[in-house]
Amino acid sequence: MSLDAIQDVIRDVPDFPKPGILFKDITPLLADGQLFREAVRALSDPWRDAGLKAVAGIDARGFIFSAAVAFDLGVGLVPIRKKGKLPWQTIEAAYALEYGSATLELHRDAVQPGDKVLLVDDLLATGGTAAAAAELLFQIGADVVESAFLIELGELSGRARLTRCPVRSLIRF
């Protein structure tokens, strides 16, 4: 496992998308097949043969990792999308971002009550996005076994907002 190598390829982009934001660019990691696979496996590994029903991924960079983790584990994929993108009956949760605000939606029938679901996103910053996503999953009765992130920005204390499930990140800045 080369978490150090994964950390090393993540590129800092200052003042994107707004002044004052240090954006963590994951595209160099995605471009490296071996490191991308190692990152996906590190997210998946604790959950092999754990009886998961699905991995839930957060729009949009979260889809990249959640889809790969779901494939790796052989379980379903549940998209949690920005408002207006899901075609069926939805529930929604509004939240504030490190930059801006948004609303997430989830299909009402995405999983059944009691189903074990792993929530995945690329990055945990203030925690607003992941807390809203977890809340939607809890509302439809999912058993959220963990919120897993490639990157955690520790000084923003996002994990403090995820009180109802364990939180794990591969890399902390």
Catalytic residue among 92, 98, 135, 168: 98
Among 121, 145, 146, 162, the residue binding ligand AMP under the rule CB under 6 A is 121
Shortest distance, CB of residue 59 to ligand AMP, whole angstroms?
Answer: 8
Total residues contacting ligand AMP (rule CB under 6 A)?
A: 20
Q: Using only C-alpha atoms, what is the Rg of the chain?
A: 15
Active-site residue flag, 98: yes
Q: What is the DSSP letter of 127?
A: S
Query: Could you tell me which residues come within 8 angstroms of residue 88 by beta carbon, excluding any fewer than 6 positions away?
Result: 107, 108, 109
- Binders of ligand AMP among residues 71 to 100 (CB under 6 A) are 97-98
Q: Does 173 bind ligand AMP (CB under 6 A)?
A: no
- Per DSSP, helices labelled H in the chain are 3-9, 27-30, 33-44, 61-73, 128-139
Shortest distance, CB of residue 114 to ligand AMP, whole angstroms?
Answer: 27
Expressed in angstroms, the distance from the first to the final Cα of the chain is 18
Among 124, 136, 162, 171, the residue binding ligand AMP under the rule CB under 6 A is 124
Q: Helix, strand, or coil here: 134?
A: helix
Q: Does 23 bind ligand AMP (CB under 6 A)?
A: yes
Catalytic residue among 61, 92, 135, 168: 61
Active-site residue flag, 152: no
